[in-house]
Amino acid sequence: MLDTLPRKGSATRERILELAEAAVLDKGFAATSIEELIAGVGITKGGFFYHFRDKNQLARALLVRYLEREEALFDDLFARADELNEDPLHGFLVFLKLLAETMSNLPELHPGCLVAAFCYQDQLFDHQIRELNHTAVHNWRRRFRERLELIAARYPPRVDVDFDSLADMLSALADGGIVLSRAAGDKDVLPKQVLLYRQFVRTVFLGTEQS
């Protein structure tokens, strides 16, 4: 279960987090200053420090907020897929289709992944934040691996495959797809990569048969 921070229900706090996340994804955490956030929100420095003790606490709040949002998205998509399919393989394939559609429906390019952004500059953060990032990645691996193991119980894999690696492949593909889509200026790159992973999973468990 993700570590959480106490929340004041403050619109100001949420606005700080919104601006900070956009800035971090655009130019990195080191280049995001407290001064620009203060100016963007229209508060005093004291107002900022009322909500966040320092920049490190801001980073932790950003990461917790981002991970909660990602977990909620996966929960929702898996719940929708499970409603449509009792078969574990076809349920996972529906989940991947829904995930690709979600990425396709973004109005612009995907803004990026905070987990990746924080990994790129992990020397800036304390052990607690690095551990939170580490735990998040392992939670994603566990979540996807559990689904793959359910599939394998009914559909033995047609090839020798490590389920941890196959689970990690989705996370790696998603982050890589974000980078490629931004570099190419093409928002369709990311959903196409998810659909390609979907086809690969189908082939692992069904071979070249059509489902």
SS3 for 131-156, per residue? HHHHHHHHHHHHHHHHHHHHHHHHCC
The DSSP code for 22 is H
Least confident of 28-37, 80-89, 111-120: 111-120
Which residue carries 């790159």 as its tokens? 189
- Residue 175, token pair as written in the block: 């982050």
> What is the three-class DSSP state of 31?
coil
Q: Report whether 120 contacts 55 (CB < 8 A).
A: no
**DSSP states along 63-99:** HHHHHHHHHHHHHHHHHHHHHH-SSHHHHHHHHHHHH
Q: Report whether 18 contacts 39 (CB < 8 A).
A: no
In the chain, the domains with their CATH numbers are 7-52 (1.10.10.60), 55-206 (1.10.357.10)
pLDDT band at 108 (very low <50, low <70, confident <90, very high): confident
pLDDT in tens, 119-163: 888 888 888 899 999 999 999 999 999 999 999 999 999 999 999
Summarize the confidence of residues 103-114 as an average pLDDT. Answer: 89
- Phi, psi of 185, rounded to the nearest 5 degrees: 65, 30
Is the pLDDT at 197 greater than 70? The verdict is: yes
CA distance 196 to 173: 10
> What is the three-class DSSP state of 162?
coil
Q: Which pLDDT belongs to residue 10? A: 82
Which residue carries 């987090």 as its tokens? 17
